[in-house]
Amino acid sequence: AGSKSYYGIEWVNRGYLIGHNSAIPLSPSPSPSFCRKRRRGMDSDVEESLRKRQRKNPYFVDSSSRKNFMQEEDIRLEITRARFSNVLKRHGELTERLSRDSDKMVFERLQKEFDAARVSQTEEICLDGEEWNDGLLATIRERVHMEADRKTMLGDTNMVPGPHFQEKTTYKVGSKVICCLEGARIGIQYGTSFPGGPCELYHCVLESKSFLEKMTVLEHTIPFFLPIREAENDLLSSNAMKFIDYIGELLQAYVDRREQVQLIKELYGDQIRELYHSLPYHMVEFVLDVSDCKVTVSLRYADLVSVLPSRIRVLAWPSKKNSINAATLNRKESGVLGSHQIPARLSYAEDALRTMSLPEAFAEIVLKLSRELQHIFHHQSPS
């Protein structure tokens, strides 16, 4: 009982194989833990085989591993993009918060004060070249203190002001207007422009308590992200004229860079997929979707008074649908064909951005892009 006969051999439940003349003990059935260890051993053998194969052929990559790696990279890129978009959103909110009504009220108040000074002026002197110098600035400081003295003297009814006290002179130096304001203050109004017309006005008010003390910036309407305080510390006490000129260059360069970016958004907005920039527009990056590829443009300006970028990088990336094999590696021992997408550097575009304004360079890039891509990728295609 409990056994079966098959070709003269009986299987006994107790683990013996019984023949006609002998009994041979059977090995017990393998345990589950033994099976798991054996499977792990087989897996390790397979992994070791793959490692040996990769050592023989470093370009061998399992297709499923490559696919998983690309999917993980895409996920990481999407996470980074989402985080960066959130940073840009918070950046915009901060910018708006720092440009609230209080700043607008300061602008309106100073603008009214400058307008009143222009209305009451008895003379406007336009200065060119060497006429604007340290000696003239000293004269302006003297007039400021004379005006303050006049206000004090008018409080004395016995004092009759002379004709020189009635003079109110305004000086115009390029796009700057310099005038004397009440309270021993020197006001500078900066005009900015872009081809096509004038842009914003900015103000800077310097306080001059006495000739023995250095002038200080009392108030201004200059954007907070431009380094006026650094310029005050570095220049105002040693060379006030250079400080005044530098602030004008700083503002005009900022407006120029900003308007260039705004213009390409208006003219080529349908081709620009992404555009990022710093507040002073001294770092600009954007992406173009043209000619069935993606072109990334990165611009860096040497300083905040530059209107042309000094560090430029323009790369063309082949699309996933029509990827271009920049390198084809075929190893007979592995039988695997490896290919890698790499971007092509567009030197002609970088040269255009280095010498032209951004809208002009953009038009030049788009005009020649298809031909340049065909030329570059034709030589990189697999043979």
List, for residues 181-227, the tens digit of each pLDDT value. Answer: 988 899 999 999 999 899 999 999 999 887 778 899 999 999 999 99
Residue 131 · residue 139 · CB < 8 Å: no
Q: Indicate which CATH number applies to the domain containing 124.
A: 3.30.457.50
State whether 313 and 237 are in the same domain: no
State whether 204 and 280 are in the same domain: no
Q: How many domains does the chain have?
A: 2
State whether 126 and 221 are in the same domain: yes
**DSSP letters spanning 303-351:** STT-SS-SEEEEEEEE-STT---SEEEEETTTTEEEEE---EE-HHHHH
| β strands within the chain, DSSP E | 3-6, 9-12, 16-18, 23-25, 123-127, 169-173, 176-181, 185-194, 197-207, 216-220, 272-277, 283-290, 293-300, 311-318, 327-331, 336-340, 344-345
State whether 222 and 333 are in the same domain: no
Residue 184 lies in a domain: yes
State whether 107 and 190 are in the same domain: yes
Length of the chain: 383
Decide which of 256, 284, 319 is a domain's last residue: 256
Burial class (CB in 10 A: 0-12, 13-18, 19+), 250: buried
Least confident of 82-91, 234-243, 256-265, 299-308: 82-91
Residue 263 lies in a domain: no
State whether 370 and 303 are in the same domain: yes
State whether 280 and 353 are in the same domain: yes
List, for residues 116-150, the tens digit of each pLDDT value. Answer: 988 988 899 999 888 999 999 998 988 888 877 77
State whether 234 and 372 are in the same domain: no
- Given a cut of 70, is residue 81 above it in pLDDT? yes
What is the reported pTM? 0.69
List, for residues 83-118, the tens digit of each pLDDT value. Answer: 777 777 777 777 666 655 567 888 999 999 999 988
Report the C-alpha gap between 22 and 295 in whole angstroms. 83
Domain that holds residue 320: 269-380
